[in-house]
Amino acid sequence: MVRCSLLASVLLAAGCSNYWGRRRVDQPTPVKPHQPVWIWSGGQVNKWHAVVITQDSVSGIPYRMSLKCDSCRRSLPRTQVDSMKLGYHTVPEYVIEGTGIVAVLTVAEAAVCAVVAPRDPQC
Instruction: Read off the pTM.
Output: 0.53
Classify 34 as helix, strand or coil: coil
Give the whole-angstrom CA distance, residue 22 versus residue 39.
12
Q: Are 58 and 79 in contact (CB under 8 A)?
A: no
Q: What is the pLDDT of residues 50-72, one digit of tens each?
A: 999 888 889 999 999 999 998 99
Q: Is 86 exposed, middle or buried (0-12, 13-18, 19+ CB in 10 A)?
A: buried
Quote the pLDDT of residue 121.
75
pLDDT at 2 over 50: no
